[in-house]
Amino acid sequence: MTATYKTDDSFFYVVAPMRCAYSPWFVYKWFFHDGVGRFRAVRDQEAEESKFTLADIEDLYPGVKSIGLVMDPWARAVYAYKEVIDPKKPESYRDRVKSNYPGIDLSSFSKFIMSLTKFPMLPQRHWLYNGDRPVDYLLRVEHINEDFKPIQDYFCSSVPLGLKDYDIGYKSYFTKSTREIIQKIFAEDIDSFGYQFKDGK
Amino acid sequence: MNILKRPPGDQFTFRLFSQLLSKVKSPKDSFYLWSMCFDPSIDNHFKYEDFPAFLPEHYYHENEMIYRRTMMDNIKNDLIILGVKDHLTSRQFNPLKERFPDMAIWLKQMANFYPDKHIILFTSLENLELDEPNMDIIPWGGDITNHQKEYLGLESLAGKNYNSRYNYLSLNRHPRPHRIMLVSKLRDLKLTEHGLVSCMFKNQISGFEPTINDSYEIYNNFSNDNVNNFKNKLANYYKETFVEIVAETSYIEPVFNLTEKTLNSIYGKSFPIFLSSAGTVEFLRSMGMDVFDDIVNHNYDKIIDPGARLHRAITDNKELLTDNVKVKTLHQKNLARFDNNVDFAKNKMYNFYATRATKQFTKIINDRNL
């Protein structure tokens, strides 16, 4: 029989890699809407701000059930680029990124991807695995409603997650070579989380 | 584990609770909560959507009944472990009628309600004894442990103004009885001119005008941002003064919850006179803090009667509170000791609380084979 909150007293922590389209708060919001879930969610300000990994979290909170947010590595690259060059963000933000990551070229998306070979983003596995063991519940942001169902079942809850499945439509951003760069840099993520380049859009 | 409600900045005890729970093999029901969950005077109606996204868990409709029901619905095993943050004294506490804080009585009643279950209670209070055979009590440090990360990054006061005309600092915000008594005493002994005194309840004290104009708007992020309050505001007062009359949260009760008020005094490098429950100074001394026994007369600490204790705390240290030349000379001579206390606050204090709680908890689970 699948465990539910009635028979299991676990508590839950949400881990999100850096540059993930959805932050932990997007998921915690559901917990605080749910009558039972709100008593089972762990928030740790330092851990969230400092982007603690699954290993860090399990060290601090032995026995915690972990929920990890993961996204398509190609979509993540587009998301990361758009986040930095977003015209709504002040110029100082871009300057700060440039000074923190001097190897990054933000003059175009292709150059940005090519510069990742010199200063790659960490793979999402870095946050979502403790050794060879992944988080207990993996939420692919592109299928977040489907992947969240086991958590709703655990809490016997009909409260909707209230999030849209994430779709950035990234195909047009990539050339053959930039697509392959992501394939190479994030091979570990692609293999671990079963992603492939979406030709559809 | 059920997390009923958390106060801001509680990571030290929250993490400790989680780590200690993992040592228990027996089936258990565990609850981590802010004591306001069972404060009979709380009835909040908040919408958390109206507030900034971070750590909003304390913004929704809540009252004592909601939490009581959640606890009772989730108690199924013979072992109950409670981690309770903050003091247990509600506004309804009447020190003339009751020996223990009223919310501690609630816990006592809980132990009676579940006579066949064993309860382990972690509490922010020192000296809490409820005399219930099915309840073990483990103190894990008061609110002084809150905002650990922020305090560890806080620079202590760089230096005092030795040209200041003020001797002492007395900060009085929430109108607790001992603070009202204190300000009245300072007024009656004509000591107010020697100090920087704030008083948010000045309308209740005739013939007194505070020397610090305080306001309630010290926190701008819906959280108890004690560290920024120290940096932006309190440090200015500490710079001008050399002694602090630390009016802690607990005073009349025999149990006490040490808070950021004591910590701020350490970071502000002032000689401390503690207006807190009897035995507070002895406790701090036993933890390893230098309470400046050779400079401050702490004989008041043993006096049980609240009025007499307050009177002695002030009158026995009158010279320190009024002799401006002497207090500055003493301060300059003892600078290294203030630095040692900051070191104590940044390191030994957290270790003391974690080690003591772990040791007591481990003994209980070993003795009871839990």
Is A62–B28 a contact, with Cβ atoms under 8 angstroms apart?
no
The percentage of residues in chain A with a pLDDT greater than 90, rounded to a whole number, is: 72
Is B18–A44 a contact, with Cβ atoms under 8 angstroms apart?
no
What is the ipTM, given to two decimal places?
A: 0.81
| Predicted pLDDT at B219 | 52
Q: Which residues of B touch A61 (CB under 8 A)?
A: 15, 18-19
| Predicted pLDDT at B48 | 47
Q: Which of A10-19, A31-40, B36-45 has the highest mean pLDDT?
A: A10-19
Is A38–B18 a contact, with Cβ atoms under 8 angstroms apart?
no
Q: Report the gap between the CA of B303 and the closest CA in chain A (Å).
A: 41
Residue B59 has pLDDT above 70, yes or no: no
Mean pLDDT over B16-34 rounds to 95
Q: Which residues of B45-57 are buried (b: 16+ CB within 10 A; e: fewer)?
A: eeebeeeeeebbb
CA distances to A77, A86, A98, B133 from A91, in Å = 20, 10, 11, 65
Q: Which residues of A touch B28 (CB under 8 A)?
A: 9
A9, A38, A48 ranked by CB distance to B57: nearest: A38
Token output for B55: 């750590």
Is A44–B14 a contact, with Cβ atoms under 8 angstroms apart?
yes
The residues of B whose Cβ lies within 8 A of any Cβ of A are: 1-4, 6, 9, 11, 14-15, 18-19, 21-22, 28-30, 48, 53-57, 60, 70, 74, 149
Q: Report the gap between the CA of B57 and the closest CA in chain A (Å).
A: 7
Q: How many CB atoms lie within 10 A of CB A106?
A: 15
| Predicted confidence (pLDDT) per residue in B204-249, tens digit | 888 888 888 876 665 555 456 889 999 999 999 999 999 999 999 9
Is A44–B15 a contact, with Cβ atoms under 8 angstroms apart?
yes
The nearest alpha carbon in chain A to B31 belongs to: A39
| Predicted confidence (pLDDT) per residue in A86-108, tens digit | 777 788 888 888 888 888 888 89
Residue A11, chain B, CB below 8 Å: the answer is yes
Residue A25, chain B, CB below 8 Å: the answer is yes
CA distances to A6, B1, B19, B163 from A152, in Å = 13, 18, 27, 65
Cα–chain center distance at B217 = 21
Q: Nearest 5°: CA angle at B287, between B285 and B289? A: 55
Is B18–A62 a contact, with Cβ atoms under 8 angstroms apart?
yes
Helix (H) or strand (E) holding B83: strand B79-85
Mutate to test the interface with B, among A9, A27, A36, A64 (most CBs of B within 10 A): A9
B2, B11, B19 ranked by CB distance to A62: nearest: B19
Contact of B345 with B150, CB cutoff 8 Å? no
Q: Nearest 5°: CA angle at B256, between B296 and B198? A: 60
Per DSSP, what are the bridge partners of residue B245?
B273
Residue B42 has pLDDT above 80, yes or no: no
Residue A44, chain B, CB below 8 Å: the answer is yes
Q: Which residues of A touch B74 (CB under 8 A)?
A: 9
Q: How many CB atoms lie within 10 A of CB B24?
A: 17
Amino acid at A20: C
**A56 contact partners, CB below 8 Å, separation of at least 6:** A47
| Res. B61 pLDDT band, cuts 50 70 90 | low
| Predicted pLDDT at B41 | 74
| Predicted pLDDT at B53 | 40
| Predicted confidence (pLDDT) per residue in B295-347, tens digit | 999 999 999 999 999 999 999 999 999 999 999 999 999 999 999 999 999 99
Residues 121-160 of A with CB under 8 A from B: none
Q: Which residues of B touch A45 (CB under 8 A)?
A: 9, 11, 54-55
| Res. A200 pLDDT band, cuts 50 70 90 | low
| Predicted confidence (pLDDT) per residue in B83-129, tens digit | 999 999 888 888 778 878 889 988 999 999 999 999 999 999 999 99
Q: Report the gap between the CA of B23 and the closest CA in chain A (Å).
A: 9
Beta strands in A71-180, from DSSP E residues, in sequence order: 129-130, 133-134, 137-140
The whole-angstrom separation of Cα B108 and Cα B104 is: 6
Q: Which residues of A touch B61 (CB under 8 A)?
A: none
| Predicted pLDDT at B22 | 94
Tell me the average pLDDT of chain B: 91
Contact of A67 with A27, CB cutoff 8 Å? yes
The nearest alpha carbon in chain A to B32 belongs to: A39
| Predicted confidence (pLDDT) per residue in B190-208, tens digit | 999 999 999 989 888 888 8
Token output for B106: 């609630």
End-to-end CA distance of chain B: give it in Å, rounded.
16
The whole-angstrom separation of Cα B177 and Cα A195 is: 64
Residue A39, chain B, CB below 8 Å: the answer is yes
* CATH T-level assignment (fold) for domain A12-193: Rossmann fold (3.40.50)
Which conformational region is residue B89 in: left (phi greater than 0), alpha (psi within -120 to 50 degrees), or beta? Answer: beta
Per DSSP, what are the bridge partners of residue A69?
A139
Q: Nearest 5°: CA angle at B179, between B178 and B182? A: 85
Token output for B85: 């943050």
Token output for A26: 């997007």
Q: Residue B309's closest CA among B275, B265, B285?
A: B275
| Predicted pLDDT at B93 | 82
The nearest alpha carbon in chain B to A48 belongs to: B54
| Predicted pLDDT at B217 | 61
Is A32–B60 a contact, with Cβ atoms under 8 angstroms apart?
yes
Residue B52 has pLDDT above 60, yes or no: no
| Predicted confidence (pLDDT) per residue in A52-97, tens digit | 999 999 999 999 999 999 999 999 999 999 988 777 778 888 888 8
Is B3–A42 a contact, with Cβ atoms under 8 angstroms apart?
yes
Residue for token pair 């394939």? A183
Q: Report the gap between the CA of B78 and the closest CA in chain A (Å).
A: 14
Contact of B229 with B219, CB cutoff 8 Å? yes
Mean pLDDT over B264-275 rounds to 98
The Cβ-side half-sphere exposure at B364, using a 13 Å CA radius, reads: 23
